[in-house]
Amino acid sequence: MKLFALALMGLMVVGAQDAPPDKPGRIFNTVKTKLAAGKQVVGGTVMIPNADSYCAMANSGFDFTWIEMQHSPMTFQDVANMVLSCKGASAMPFVRVPDATEGDIQKAVDLGAAGIIIPMVEDLQKVRNAIKFAKYPPVGKRSLGGGNYGKIWGPDYRQIANENIMIVAMIESPAGAKIAAEMAAIPGVDVIFIASTDLSSFTGLKQGDPAYEALVTKTKDAVLAAGKKVAGPLAWKGTREGYAFFQAPGESVLLGMGAKVSLGQSSMGETKKGVAPTEGAEKH
């Protein structure tokens, strides 16, 4: 009986060592700390499944990389290799998953994503599911498993993951804009992204139209009132107040712009200042 009691005490000690700490742990996600300090952050979009081009983006001065899996043929294996190949890069890896499913989100966080971007949110359950699948218990129901996360973020990852992984929910339609306040009020949501060109596509309104601007302003105000950060395209940086998180263009667009600059040509094209270019319509 005495031996059994000693063994039980030993198991309790081991369990206590494995349990998440009660006090806040190490924060490795520099996007989170910058936003908390009131700074703005910019992420470069990554659509090419190549380690060299990824590292060029991740070490170019961006705060994070927006790894685009919704609108690209990249596989999770591609992304895992890219992120691991550039371990230690200054830009935090954020992944826009194809959808907020358990499989997509589990793979993204296991490969080392510091942020999960959820596309096309039109119901609150989609956001709650994303939080549940991205976070370990007791916050969520993320399961333990293999992946690159420990190699990238350290052996204490299990204890600090929940405090570091960020959730970005995208509003791309009037249905999403309608629930912006409720979305932003959900614990675990960090950023609400107002997708400029998708809102234009779904409403049939152009940026600058009074009805479009009223919808965007109402959505932004609802998010800020809930104490969360508002995001938008890089074209809105410096032209609209209240935004803190921005998506910059992808590698091919930036490559073309760089080539024009090197040839002494303008890199801005014909895009009006403050108006986000239509995604997919860029010249390559």
User: Between 1.20.59.10, 3.20.20.60, 3.10.129.10, 3.50.50.60, what CATH number should domain 27-262 receive?
Assistant: 3.20.20.60
- Mean pLDDT computed over every residue of the chain: 89
Position of tokens 């239509």? 278
Task: Give the model confidence (pLDDT) of 8-28 as tens digits.
Answer: 334 333 333 333 444 568 999
Confidence of residue 258 (pLDDT cuts 50, 70, 90): confident
Q: Give the span between the Cα atoms of 277 and 275, in whole angstroms.
A: 6
Model-level pTM? Answer: 0.85
Phi/psi class of residue 198: alpha, beta or left (left: φ > 0; alpha: ψ in -120 to 50)?
A: alpha
Q: Where are the domains of the chain?
A: 27-262
Task: Give the model confidence (pLDDT) of 187-202 as tens digits.
Answer: 999 999 999 999 999 9
pLDDT of residue 207: 93
Average pLDDT over residues 147-166: 97
Q: Give the span between the Cα atoms of 154 and 136, in whole angstroms.
A: 16
